[in-house]
Amino acid sequence: MELPNHAKQLLLQLNQQRTKGFLCDVIIVVENALFRAHKNILAASSIYFKSLVLHDNLINLDTEMVNPSVFRQVLDFIYTGKLLSTSDQSSEHNFSALLTAASYLQLHDLAALCRKKLKRNGGKPLPGKPSTPGPLSRLRLNSQRLSSSTPAGNNNHYPPTPSDTDQPQPDEGLRDKLSDDEMYVGSSGKNGNGANGSTNGNISSGGSAGEPDLGLDLSKKSPPSAGTATDALSPHSNSQESPQSASVSTTNSASLDDSSNTLPGVETCISENMDLNSSKTSEEAPNQLDGPPPQKKPRQGARKNEWPKREASGLKSEDHDRPLVNGVIVGPKDGRSTGIGGGGGGNFISDQSFQCKDEEDIRENGRDHSDESGQSDGDSGGGGGTRGGNHSANYVYRQEGFEPAFGDNLYVCIPCGKGFPSSEQLNAHVETHTEDELYIKEEGGTLVKEEDEEEAEDLSAPVGPSNFGSETRPFKCTVCSKSYKDPATLRQHEKSHWLTRPFPCNICGKMFTQRGTMTRHMRSHLGLKPFACEECGMRFTRQYRLTEHMRVHSGEKPYECQLCGGKFTQQRNLISHLRMHTSPS
DNA sequence: CTGGGGAGGGGGCCC
DNA sequence: AGGGCCCCCTCCCCA
């Protein structure tokens, strides 16, 4: 007995889930567009994807091989078995691009389909493309550029994939009859590889909960009470981080799934549509799905939507809208979260994703980063870049896909203007600066600084606790005189003076001085809140927040105002309160 | 409407 | 690398 439409219906459901972002557990970044999808589906479609999603939940695709528009078609194809073509997309060029992408992604059926189509049209497959380096090598190259300060040889945890050669694909799986508008793969149940034996099972069980999260672990551990969602978070993953994953992957899939329950914003937003003013994708919005409005916990919903707000606040608004089409975020979004509070939450992923890094910053030359260096607020704020202390960003890390203007040398050293093809090389170069020039310059009283750093300098003057007890803190920063207990900390600190953010966020391009900060930041992109309150179920991105939050339940108010005796659960609120005492009002 | 408190969230930084 | 803390921003609630 066999249900005739089973496979079709299943695929239909999966595609609907995709368009809604439901149970999506992987994000694919193509240039500056984000696509959500299901690992199982991707893995079942391509052995290349299979190798990628095994370890990573955030995948950067080589923009030379695939662009957002093409990838959208690819994804549609994967989920529907159809190539829906518009007049534009049915052009030969489109098929060539599709073929390139399909070859790159090892989507053999699609590649065959494109070949067939091109052949039928009398066109030729793109001559050189299939011989370009295979996906694996390209990915390595790609991620190497993306991941700063990851050791060379990072991506080696990728399982070897079959050769990247572009073998001719059997056309047997293709339907002979191809219409110009729609092309089908013969059987929706037929997959390029046999890796999907568990697909259905996994899907029905809610995604990839059982999948090893070998990527950069952003989920951390979760308190035992985290419930079903948290159960899926594997506690072991900390040790699993691979160097590569820092650049390509981000989170564990279970957490993503989880977010669909507890963090509807991300789940929904990334999948739901936004205004469609992207030139590439404006013709349709197939996923204008009225997915269930995200459930919101008290306060959290509104809050969640305001997530990127801070960066938006007081900051310029970009000209560019970053529409989200078919689950795709296209381009940076301006700082104003248009949809904030609108309930649907459909906007904020896009907002957050791109507010973090103002496109303006990105567009401009490397120097502007020296302005933004001080505080993350500044950079994300774009216009407010100059504030934020003395941390002049003298070195700029360029993330591929965000700033192509430097050609291959995306990593530019600000003081000397030299470009480097990799962050490693830039970092190595920077070291020579710090050792050879920095201190010399300092001795000479001419530190490399931006013109406007005088004010900022004051902010980081050796104030506060940094100077006390110099006996126990023998390691002193030569720039700001802060002292530290150990040389490693000093080194880390010194980089805040001289190194600009070697750790970029793969989603928004924002850069960080410390990997941990970037990792934490990524959690916010992905809506990972591994720390759940046992009392109320509220979830947090950080343990510390949970600790703070627990005082709400316990009633503990450890922070007391010495002036009025007022007690507070959080120190910051005491501080805020003290300002009220001291401020002349 | 306003001010104050409570609280969620983000980044920087030190250990 | 991860934890913890500090600081900041912001919003919501309430008096």
pLDDT tens digits for A352-405? 333 333 333 333 333 333 333 333 333 333 332 332 323 322 333 333 333 333
Give distance CA A398 / C1' B12 (Å).
21
Note the pLDDT of residue A569.
80
Separation CA A2–CA A389 (nearest Å): 68
Does nucleic acid strand C have an atom less than 7 angstroms from the CB of A580?
no
Q: Which nucleotide is nearest to A501 (CA to C1')?
A: B12
Give distance CA A267 / C1' B12 (Å).
28
- Residue with CA nearest to B4's C1' atom: A577
- Residue with CA nearest to C9's C1' atom: A310
How many whole angstroms from its chain centre is CA A49? 18
Secondary structure (DSSP) of A186-224: S-TT--SSSTTTTHHHHHHTTSSTTS---S---S----G
Give distance CA A579 / C1' C7 (Å).
13
Q: Nucleic chain C: which protein residues 271-300 of A have CB below 7 A from it? A: 299
Separation CA A553–CA A533 (nearest Å): 10
Retrieve residue A105's tokens: 């992604």
Note the pLDDT of residue A56.
63
User: What are the phi and psi torsion angles at A58 (to 5°)?
Assistant: -130, 120
Note the pLDDT of residue A438.
37
Retrieve residue A316's tokens: 């310029």
Note the pLDDT of residue A425.
62
Q: Which nucleotide is nearest to A529 (CA to C1')?
A: B9
Record the pTM: 0.38
Separation CA A46–CA A205 (nearest Å): 22
Does nucleic acid strand C have an atom less than 7 angstroms from the CB of A228?
no
Q: Mean pLDDT over all residues of chain A?
A: 53
Q: Which nucleotide is nearest to A388 (CA to C1')?
A: B12
Residues of chain A with pLDDT under 70: 32, 54-58, 85-90, 123-471, 498-500, 583-585
Give distance CA A196 / C1' C4 (Å).
43
Q: Which nucleotides of chain C have an atom under 7 angstroms from any protein CB?
A: 1-13
Does nucleic acid strand C have an atom less than 7 angstroms from the CB of A314?
yes
Give distance CA A549 / C1' B7 (Å).
8
Does nucleic acid strand C have an atom less than 7 angstroms from the CB of A514?
yes
Note the pLDDT of residue A428.
62
SS3 A275: coil
Give distance CA A530 / C1' B11 (Å).
19
SS3 A154: helix
